[in-house]
């Protein structure tokens, strides 16, 4: 428990995750591009460091939770990157949802410096981060996974190693692919029901126990109906994830027509000013497609 953890990225996901480690007895040092977002952690006992390299030099474990794969690449790799500053024998955990092939590249660069690396994207959103109920999808060696287990246990409910480096990212992509078309189905169903003049809430109650049932139908449909479009998970971030999924699929010569349609519809939603709203705001964009101002909000 006396491992020193360096945490880079204290946004809406990273801050509560780092806080759980602090509360769990870890020494935590933090860096974030915008210092103000780390202030609450510092008040709670985390040590602020002026740059990622300063933080890396002393840490036994470095954790990243950033926005985009390019941020991860810039901070970790190349001259002046974190990896060069890390101690031999230390462990790098990237919680960012990112590119599977980048995870493999990081793993290789880490091995060359006697550092262990894990890709560990999560699902569960900010609520999961706050409640330490995240699903954590891990890629990397068995040994590194074993070493990280006590730390993961402070953050997540379901923690699974799926295989070698990149496997965590691939599993996250699989998750997003399933969600994307599922959300189209959900939003089109609600819109159909509304346009057909049904009592949409009653119709949802009727079908949700059957083959149309899903986590999204139970959790997001009621929010759509009352016009609550707050995230959940933001459309801007979902477009990033779907871009990664489609790019990886293209690399694997894999055609995913449903995911491609979903990505385009989410681009339309962003174009309608919904980028900072939750993924279920797709319902609004689909309604606008048919000139329907719905739901009331």
Report the catalytic residues. 172
25 contacts 5 by C-beta, under 8 angstroms:
no
Please identify, using beta-carbon distances, which residue of 85 and 177 lies nearer to a second copy.
Answer: 177
CB of 155 to a second copy, least distance (A): 14
CB of 197 to a second copy, least distance (A): 7
CB of 255 to a second copy, least distance (A): 5
CB of 172 to a second copy, least distance (A): 9
275: DSSP letter:
T
The bridge status of strand 4-8 relative to strand 27-31 is parallel
Q: For the purposes of burial, counting CB atoms within 10 Å of the CB of 213, is it exposed (0-12), middle (13-18) or buried (19 or more)?
A: exposed
256 contacts 180 by C-beta, under 8 angstroms:
no
130 contacts 100 by C-beta, under 8 angstroms:
no
Count Cβ neighbours within 10 Å for each residue of 163-182 and write b for 16 or more, e otherwise.
eebbbbbbbbbebbbebbeb
Rounded to an integer, what distance in angstroms lies between the CA atom of residue 166 and that of residue 255?
A: 20
Rounded to an integer, what distance in angstroms lies between the CA atom of residue 7 and that of residue 46?
A: 10
Please identify, using beta-carbon distances, which residue of 55 and 200 lies nearer to a second copy.
Answer: 200
Please identify, using beta-carbon distances, which residue of 64 and 187 lies nearer to a second copy.
Answer: 187
Please identify, using beta-carbon distances, which residue of 82 and 173 lies nearer to a second copy.
Answer: 173
124: DSSP letter:
S
Please identify, using beta-carbon distances, which residue of 32 and 169 lies nearer to a second copy.
Answer: 169
Closest CA to 121 of 107, 131, 102, 134: 134
Contacting residues for 22 by C-beta, under 8 A, at least 6 apart: 28, 41, 44, 45, 46
CB of 18 to a second copy, least distance (A): 22
CB of 32 to a second copy, least distance (A): 26
Please identify, using beta-carbon distances, which residue of 6 and 125 lies nearer to a second copy.
Answer: 125
């Amino acid at each position: 428990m006396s491992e020193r953890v360096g945490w880079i990225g204290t946004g809406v996901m990273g801050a509560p995750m780092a806080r759980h480690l602090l509360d769990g007895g870890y020494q935590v040092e933090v860096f974030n591009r915008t210092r103000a977002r780390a202030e609450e952690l510092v008040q709670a006992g985390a040590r602020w460091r002026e740059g990622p390299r300063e933080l890396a030099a002393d840490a036994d474990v470095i954790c990243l939770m950033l926005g985009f794969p390019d941020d991860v690449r810039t901070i970790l790799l190349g001259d002046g990157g974190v990896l060069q500053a890390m101690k031999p024998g230390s462990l790098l955990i990237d919680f960012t949802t990112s590119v599977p092939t980048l995870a493999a590249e990081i793993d290789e660069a880490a091995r060359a410096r006697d550092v262990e690396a894990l890709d560990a994207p999560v699902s569960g959103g900010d609520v999961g981060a706050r409640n330490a109920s995240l699903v954590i999808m891990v890629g990397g060696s068995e040994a590194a996974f074993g070493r990280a287990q006590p730390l993961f246990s402070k953050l997540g409910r379901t923690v699974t190693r799926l295989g070698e480096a990149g496997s965590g990212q691939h599993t996250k992509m699989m998750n997003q692919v399933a969600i994307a078309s599922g959300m189209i189905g959900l939003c089109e169903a609600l819109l159909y029901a509304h346009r057909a003049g049904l009592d949409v809430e009653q119709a949802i109650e009727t079908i949700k126990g059957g083959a149309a049932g899903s986590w999204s139908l139970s959790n997001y449909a009621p929010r759509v109906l009352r016009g609550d479009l707050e995230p959940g998970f933001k459309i801007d971030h979902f477009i990033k994830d779907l871009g990664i999924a489609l790019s990886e699929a293209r690399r694997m010569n894999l055609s995913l027509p449903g995911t491609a349609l979903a990505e385009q519809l989410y681009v339309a939603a962003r174009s309608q000013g919904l980028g900072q709203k939750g993924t279920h705001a797709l319902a609004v964009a689909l309604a606008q497609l048919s000139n329907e101002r719905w739901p009331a909000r």
